[in-house]
Amino acid sequence: MRISIVIPAHNEATHLKDCLDSFVAQTHRPDEVIIVDDNSTDDTFQIASDFSKKHGWIKVLKRKSTDAHIPGKKVVDAFNFGLQHTSDYNLIGKFDADIILPPNYFEAILNRFQSNWKLGMCSGLLYVKEDNEWVYENIADKAHIRGPIKLYHKACFDKIGALRPGVGWDTVDVLLAQYHHFETETLPELQVKHLRPTGHGYSSKNYKAKGEAMYKMRYSLVLTKIAALKMAWQAKSIRLYFQAVFGYCKAFFQQQPQYVTKTEGKFIRKLRWQGIWSKLC
């Protein structure tokens, strides 16, 4: 099974070397890694180019884009740019440039895909450093496949219609994979170091965008409030709750275009309620 990885990178000079070192050290290396330098102003391109000269399976592309931080859309656009330059693959990965993989990462995940033909998405778990210890980044359930370490089977990737260019892309893809009867799996033994915690530098605009994403995934208002309350609890900020709900209502009244069809939305709501009731029971 051929593995292609696309790494969108914007001003990642601080972490990129450590990230790529972990790719080079893999017991089963990907067949290709494509780094998309997305309008960086630091040494990202130079660092990536140095690795490319030493390792023929690492490629570097330059992409010109806006300097503005557009949550979700900017990274998906950069990924799609890299996707256009991939070779034939069976597994396609979208990875961030601020992670360090354990040496057996791709070997273990490849084994899971080869042993389960229903598996559509697979990943390890993200850990962040707190008080000199690496602890689980507790902003999502351990069963959820996180955005910085996504690996898809091509059949699943094609069925879900690629990635949605906006906040929530790394949630809707998991939901749509399940809608199309694919299984998703996280391997807790694969602990990935996340060098820059999720949400670093987030603004109120980002949290409103999360609410908009819930509307685009066709959540009900009640489901949105429950999800927003959970985020606010984890972030220890009640303000986040109101920002997310405001974003949902804004998207509703503006009738913004949605990520999924009505049928897919009905499935997503049912799945979300099943998850809530199972936890309560």
- In this structure, is residue 228 part of a structural domain? yes
pLDDT score recorded for residue 67: 64
List phi, psi (to 5°) of 228: -65, -40
Q: Kindly state whether residues 20 and 57 are assigned to the same domain.
A: yes
- Helix, strand, or coil (residue 7): strand
pLDDT score recorded for residue 28: 97
Contact 2, 89 (CB under 8 A): yes
Q: Kindly state whether residues 219 and 162 are assigned to the same domain.
A: no
pLDDT score recorded for residue 92: 98
**Cβ contacts of residue 280 below 8 Å, gap of 6+?**
none
Beta pairing, strands 119-130 & 58-63: unpaired
- Helix, strand, or coil (residue 82): helix
Q: Kindly state whether residues 141 and 57 are assigned to the same domain.
A: yes
pLDDT score recorded for residue 279: 80
Q: Kindly state whether residues 138 and 66 are assigned to the same domain.
A: yes
- In this structure, is residue 178 part of a structural domain? yes
User: pLDDT tens, 260-273?
Assistant: 999 999 999 999 99
CATH number of the CATH domain containing 66: 3.90.550.10
b/e map of 139-175 (b: 16 or more CB within 10 Å)? bbeeeebbbbbbbbbbebbebbebbbbbbbbbbbbbb
Q: Which domain holds residue 104?
A: 3-194
Q: Kindly state whether residues 134 and 262 are assigned to the same domain.
A: no
pLDDT score recorded for residue 213: 93
SS (H, E, C) 11-30: CCHHHHHHHHHHHHCCCCCC
> Which stretches within the chain are classed as H helix?
13-24, 44-54, 73-83, 105-115, 154-159, 169-179, 204-216, 221-235, 238-254, 262-280
Write out residues in the chain with pLDDT < 50, as ranges.
200-203
- In this structure, is residue 79 part of a structural domain? yes
Q: Kindly state whether residues 87 and 27 are assigned to the same domain.
A: yes
Last residue of a domain, one of 165, 194, 223: 194
pLDDT score recorded for residue 72: 79
Instruction: Give the number of domains in the chain.
Output: 2
Last residue of a domain, one of 138, 171, 194: 194
Q: Kindly state whether residues 53 and 163 are assigned to the same domain.
A: yes
User: pLDDT tens, 145-164?
Assistant: 999 999 999 999 999 998 99
Q: Kindly state whether residues 148 and 274 are assigned to the same domain.
A: no
Q: Kindly state whether residues 246 and 127 are assigned to the same domain.
A: no
Q: Kindly state whether residues 71 and 190 are assigned to the same domain.
A: yes
Last residue of a domain, one of 144, 165, 194: 194
pLDDT score recorded for residue 201: 45
- In this structure, is residue 199 part of a structural domain? no
pLDDT score recorded for residue 200: 47
Q: Kindly state whether residues 78 and 121 are assigned to the same domain.
A: yes
> CA 192, CA 75: separation in Å to the nearest integer?
20
pLDDT score recorded for residue 202: 47
Q: Kindly state whether residues 176 and 227 are assigned to the same domain.
A: no
Report the predicted TM-score, pTM, of the whole model to 2 decimal places: 0.90
Burial of 179 (0-12, 13-18, 19+ CB in 10 A): buried
